[in-house]
Amino acid sequence: MSEYLSILIFILIGTGIVLFTFLLSRLIRPHNPYHAKNLNYECAEEPVGNSWFQFNNRFYIFALIFVIFDVEVIFLFPWAVAFGQLGLFALVEMVIFILILFFGIFYAWKKGALKWV
């Protein structure tokens, strides 16, 4: 348990240092905002239109595929750790598991879902 406690201390001190530098900088830096300075950067022009646009949902598809294969990787971790004790049977099981998912990525590939235009 003490191992996790030191991580907690680490997080607290890390956050503390960040906050401290922010505070220090706030105390000594100039503060002089005006309208033109507070505009978004857009090549020194007045920003055109709303920057909060909707975007290609291909990003979403990739995130979905990522979630699926992230779960697969997570299953691999305990398998890899206990591999020495589990032996051939576990290898066969994992090969089946991976082949099924490999079929998935192959299918997505052939159907063009992994194609980035």
Partner 1 sequence: MLEMVLITLIKVLVVVVAVLTGCAYSTYMERKVLGRLQNRIGPSYAGPFGLLQPLADGLKLIFKEDIVPSNVERITFALAPMIAFIPALLSFAVIPFSSDFELFGYHITGMLSDLNIGILFIFAVTSLGVYGIVLAGWSSGSKYSLLGGLRATAQMISYEVAYGLSIIGVILIANTLSMRELVAIQEGITNWIIWKQPFGFLLYITAAIAETNRAPFDLPEAESELVAGYHTEYSSMRFSMFFIGEYANMLAVASVGTTLFFGGWNGPFLPPVLWFVIKVVAFMFCYIWLRATFPRLRYDQLMNFGWKVLFPLALLNTMVTAAWVML
Partner 2 sequence: MTLDMFIFVFSAIVAVFGATMMISQRNPVAAVLYLIVSLVAQAVLYVQLGSVFMGAVLIIVYAGAILVLFVFVIMMLNLRGKEDLGDNSPPISRATKYIISMLMVAEFVFIVHGSVFSGPGGGMLEAETVAGFGSVEGIAKLLFTRYLYPFELTSILLLSAVVGAVVMAKRREIHEQSDSGSVSIDNDSNEGVK
Binding site for partner 2 (CB under 8 A): 1, 4-5, 52-61, 63-68, 70-72, 74-75, 77-79, 81-82, 85-86, 89-90, 93, 96-97, 100-101, 103-105, 107-108, 111-113
> Is 110 among the residues that bind partner 1 (CB under 8 A)?
no
Angle between helices 58-81 and 88-110 (to 10 degrees): 170
Decide which of partner 1, partner 2, none touches 95; Cβ closer than 5 to 8 Å per partner kind: partner 1
Q: Are 94 and 76 in contact (CB under 8 A)?
A: yes
* Least distance CB 98 / partner 1 (angstroms): 6
Cβ 39 vs Cβ 47: under 8 Å: yes
User: Quick one: 22 or 83, whose CB is closer to partner 2?
Assistant: 83
The candidate with the shortest Cα–Cα distance to 97, out of 66, 61, 71, 67, is: 71
Q: What is the DSSP string of 56-115?
A: -THHHHHHHHHHHHHHHHHHHHHHHHTHHHH-HHHHHHHHHHHHHHHHHHHHHHHTTTT-
Binding footprint of partner 1 on the chain (CB under 8 A): 2-7, 9-11, 13-15, 17-18, 21-22, 24-26, 28-33, 35, 37-42, 47, 51-53, 55, 59, 62-63, 65-66, 69-70, 72-74, 76-77, 80-84, 87-88, 91, 94-95, 98, 102, 105, 109, 114-117
